[in-house]
Amino acid sequence: MTALDHGRQDVGSRLDVDGSLDGSFDERAILQEEIERLRQRVEDLELTVVEYRSQMSQMLGSASWRVTSPLRASASRYRSAKARARRAAHRVRNGDLGADKLYTVGLLSLPDASLPEASPLRRRLDVNALHRPESSEGPVRRPDGAPAVLVVAHVHYPELWGDIEDRLARMPEAFDLLVSVTEGTAELGIPRILSRYPSARIEVVKNRGRDWGPLIQLVNKGLLSGYDAIAKVHTKKSEHRIDGNGWRIQLLDGVFESPEAIERTIALLREDRNVGIVVPSGQISGPEHWGSDEGIVESLAARLSLAFDPDRLQFPAGSMFWCRPWLLERFADLDLSMDLFEPEGGQYDATTAHGLERLVGVYAEVAGLDIVEAMDVRSRLASYRKNPRPRPSVYAFYLPQYHPTPENDAFWGQGFTDWVNVSRARPQFSGHLQPVLPSKDVGFYDLRDPNVLRQQARTAREHGVDGLVFHHYWFDGRKVLDTPLNNWLADPDIDLPLALCWANEPWSRRWDGQESDVLIAQTYGEGWAERFWDDIEPAMRDQRYIRFDGAPLLVLYRPGLIPKLPEAIATWRRRAAEAGLPAIYVAGVRPSREVPELEPSVVHALDGLISFPPGGDIRTDSVIDLIPGECSIVEGDVMSYQSAFEAELPLGVGGKPVFPGVMPGWDNTARRGSNAYLFLGANPVSFAGVLRRRRPVAGPASDGGAVFVNAWNEWAEGAAIEPSARFGTSNLSSILDVYTARGVAR
């Protein structure tokens, strides 16, 4: 309310109910003079504001302002560090600080009291009702020669479009333009946009969620997919700030500084897979800018079950920046509709849009991505090019348990496959995602059909997965679940690199390979090593078989159980040479926590070891006590996914390399019900963070070594990177983005 309004309100209070003044003519004259003075004061203030804004614009465009930009950026970083230090001191006083900090904010949905009263996010969250929009599933292949850069602009104030248009002239290469226009207020600006950029795509949107609500709509339609880099800008007024106009110009000039600067930014995002966002210099905000939005961000994160540290908040102030497309595409995983955004009312805090503005920084932090200021791009790019990180080979373990077999018919009932367990899983507590199901495109496939392998091979190639490691069930000559392997051997047109992992443990009713309730025993009769080689040699000789330095890869799941393993490996090496193979590369899976360490003689006989979570090499921090309400888990446990991979992975054991192992999640509710063990907090964003933390340093598979994923399709154990009903291809997209220099398959 202005001073003039206050004056009018005061006059109104002195009126009788019939509208007449309760005083004399002199009083009326005095009031009129007071109103005139107030009106003049308002006009003077408005002129002052105009002059101030003019001076601010001149200052922001001056050479001295640009020269001192690094100093202001340093001051901003200092304020953020100071805020983090204050929060850290608070944690120290409360005994809540240390290297083993367990972050739980965002794991589970909040009570309504933690959110602003007007927030649409207060409605009860059912994670099992969430889904990823089908329109945004699958890789996007852009035509050869199509622009690889996208500019996303939201136009609410059409009179400000010229500020963006002028700066687009600085773009150093062809780009696509995607513009969202507010319905009813900015549509009149469409002809001007199309007159300059006739191929621009225009989306007319409701006036909800500022620039972030429209962005969510674009992401949900899959319109941001298939690019190397994205610039996000909007017509920004920031009327709550007296320097709003100057700030808009500063942000736009920071995003589109010059053709050379833009070219470096795009190159950095293309090449350095650890850079997520590039912001204008001095425009990184920290935890001092949480305001009333921390609860909103926590509520949004709970839609993924995404744990984060509020003290490490960093996000692009003003919401104008360059970024990796992968980062913005992750907003589709939230399953946000426009009714979860407040009606526009001039809010400057405590809305879903303000939460998303901060959540993009939370995503970057959890995924292990850096937020880089524009002034640091040149040095960061030069540093990366001096020491580029080679791409590792990525292999995923593969379960062939999705076709009927006589053994499964006898053990579990006619026609049993793992899909039976998967489909009947049920949540064990509020916020528990079960059942974990494949996407519609994947479905409950039958591996007797060789076309399934063809489709899986195509999906793996498109997302940077170099091959699948089939669990091979061989019990002293008896083979089980070998139909997919036989189909692969019979059809050389199935373009799928493949290796075998001998699952040499007893087949038990508890699915854990223990000796209790054994269905098929694992024995080692006389001459077993020769017979085993006879069984696997046809696969080893196939040109599609995965090789390390030319040697076919053989993985042993439980090498410690194999009697006289060094002698067996010597037998296989001899047979390989007789078959004309240069060698074989024998890798053993690292023992789980329940299994003794391997004997030195066994390690010496192997060529390498593979980490295989959740069996070992991870932390197991329980968070079951945080679950509100009733929890049906009796003998199992609920653990933190993100803290699991804080454990240090040995680079070598006994002089042999250790290949990192990762998992996209783990939840064996489908097999164990109320006795399940699961890791809460697994999602495509935290999975990307795990992939970055478990990078190999060397190895024979490629210059970048190898990473093993558990697994491609362990659906009954909640460990599948195959497209799912909840996250679509997002886990696969995380692999592609982390390990491929260009952010998309092209």
The token pair that represents 521 in the structure block: 């025993």
Domain final position from 363, 386, 409: 386
Q: Are 411 and 473 in contact (CB under 8 A)?
A: no
pLDDT tens digit string along 267-296? 999 999 999 999 999 999 999 999 999 999
What 3-state class would DSSP assign to 620?
coil
Residues 213 and 296 in one domain: yes
Residues 637 and 494 in one domain: yes
Enumerate the β-bridge partners of residue 205: 182
pLDDT tens digit string along 307-334? 999 999 999 999 999 999 999 999 999 9
- Whether residue 131 is contained in a domain is answered as no
Q: Which residues of 239-274 are buried (b: 16+ CB within 10 A; e: fewer)?
A: eeeebebbbbbbbbbbbbbeeebbebbbbbbbbbbe
The DSSP code for 724 is: B
Give the per-residue pLDDT at 237: 87
pLDDT tens digit string along 332-376? 999 999 999 998 888 888 999 999 999 999 999 999 999 999 999
The number of beta carbons lying within 10 Å of the beta carbon of residue 744 is 20
End-to-end CA distance of the chain: 56
Residues 420 and 358 in one domain: no
> Does residue 133 have a cis bond before it (omega within 30 degrees)?
no
CA within 13 Å, CB half, 11: 18
Give the per-residue pLDDT at 86: 52
Give the per-residue pLDDT at 3: 38
Stated length of the chain: 746
Name residue, tokens 């362990």. Answer: 714
Residues 431 and 411 in one domain: yes
Give the per-residue pLDDT at 592: 87
- Whether residue 80 is contained in a domain is answered as no
Q: Torsions phi, psi of 69, nearest 5? A: -55, -45
> What's the total number of domains in the chain?
3
DSSP secondary structure string, 203-217?
A: EEE-SBSTTHHHHHH
> For residue 263, what is the domain's CATH number?
3.90.550.10
- Whether residue 223 is contained in a domain is answered as yes
* Residue 511 CB partners (closer than 8 Å, separation 6+): 668, 671, 672, 716
Q: Are 36 and 44 in contact (CB under 8 A)?
A: no
- Whether residue 72 is contained in a domain is answered as no
The residue among 273, 396, 467, 274 whose CA lies nearest residue 662 is 396
Which residue range is the domain that position 268 belongs to?
Answer: 88-100+145-386
- Whether residue 128 is contained in a domain is answered as no
Between the alpha carbon of residue 265 and those of residues 235, 257, 280, 298, 532, the distances in Å are 22, 10, 11, 31, 54
Residues 735 and 653 in one domain: yes
Q: Are 646 and 689 in contact (CB under 8 A)?
A: no
Residues 565 and 639 in one domain: yes
- Whether residue 113 is contained in a domain is answered as no
* Residue 19 CB partners (closer than 8 Å, separation 6+): none
DSSP secondary structure string, 321-352?
A: EEE-HHHHHGGGGG---GGGSPBPS---SSSH
Q: How far apart are CA 554 and CA 502, in angstroms?
A: 8
The residue among 560, 554, 677, 674 whose CA lies nearest residue 613 is 677
Q: Tell me how many degrees the CA angle 315-319-324 measures, rounded to the nearest 5.
A: 70
Enumerate the β-bridge partners of residue 501: 471, 555
Give the per-residue pLDDT at 43: 67
Domain final position from 356, 386, 416: 386
The token pair that represents 265 in the structure block: 């930014």
Give the per-residue pLDDT at 477: 94
The residue among 464, 236, 227, 460 whose CA lies nearest residue 328 is 227
> For residue 585, what is the domain's CATH number?
3.20.20
Domain final position from 334, 355, 386: 386
Residues 400 and 377 in one domain: no
Residues 400 and 382 in one domain: no
Residues 421 and 368 in one domain: no
Q: How far apart are CA 203 and CA 258, in angstroms?
A: 28
- Whether residue 408 is contained in a domain is answered as yes
Q: Torsions phi, psi of 484, nearest 5? A: -60, -40
Residues of the chain with pLDDT under 50: 1-22, 83-84, 87, 90-99, 137, 512-514, 743-746
- Whether residue 119 is contained in a domain is answered as no
Q: Are 468 and 460 in contact (CB under 8 A)?
A: yes
Residues 412 and 382 in one domain: no
Q: How far apart are CA 396 and CA 222, in angstroms?
A: 27
Q: Are 368 and 277 in contact (CB under 8 A)?
A: no
Give the per-residue pLDDT at 132: 82
Give the per-residue pLDDT at 513: 44
Residues 403 and 381 in one domain: no
* Residue 656 CB partners (closer than 8 Å, separation 6+): 603, 606, 607, 608, 609
Q: Which residues of 72-82 are buried (b: 16+ CB within 10 A; e: fewer)?
A: ebeebeeebee
Between the alpha carbon of residue 9 and those of residues 2, 31, 288, the distances in Å are 11, 12, 38
Residues 397 and 376 in one domain: no
